[in-house]
Amino acid sequence: MTQERGVEALRESGLAHEIVRHPPVNSLEEAAAARGVEPAAVIKTIVVRRADDDYVFVLVPGDRTIAWPKLRTLFGVKRLSMPDAETARDVTGYERGTITPFGATRAWPVIADERVLGRTVSIGAGAFGVSATVDGDDLVKTLDATVADVTD
């Protein structure tokens, strides 16, 4: 795959999407404006470490944060963590700020916060300034994501 493997993987997935390209942004509000969506519709893909060499992608609406107690309960574990930037790049193939399940070097399980459903959302497409506008329900289905209330 090329440098735009996220876009290629989106295309190959069959998920209906619109690619949006924009200049660099410095905040959630700027990202939402550049993508033409509300901040809550900007989906952050967070990499979470469950154990050695065991990670998941968590899809989090832009206006929310991971609720660690909820996520630990979902997995039935006492400890979860976020990897450092280098480890995140090693396990996904993407730099922080560009991470997406699409085209990642490993197909880690995906957890989608329940607020992703029932709306149009914008998810990163693997490069700075590149995103995809998609139907949240279709996104969850395409990624075979587990849907749960995992944010505050």
Q: Shortest CA distance to 72 belongs to which of 35, 44, 111?
A: 111
DSSP one-letter code for 115: G
Prediction pTM value: 0.95
- The full set of domain ranges for the chain reads 5-148
For every residue of 51-74, DSSP letters joined together read: ETTEEEEEEEETT--B-HHHHHHH
- Dump pLDDT digits (tens) for 79-132: 999 999 999 999 999 999 999 999 999 999 999 999 999 999 999 999 999 999
User: Is the distance from CB of 83 to CB of 55 less than 8 angstroms?
Assistant: yes
Residue 1 confidence class, pLDDT cut points 50, 70, 90: very low
Q: What is the largest CA-CA distance in the chain?
A: 41
- Dump pLDDT digits (tens) for 4-22: 899 999 999 999 999 999 9
Label the pairing between strands 54-61 and 110-113: parallel
- Dump pLDDT digits (tens) for 36-60: 999 999 999 999 999 999 999 999 9
Residue 3 confidence class, pLDDT cut points 50, 70, 90: low
CATH number for the domain formed by residue range(s) 5-148 = 3.90.960.10
Helical spans, DSSP H, in the chain: 5-13, 28-35, 68-75, 85-92, 136-142
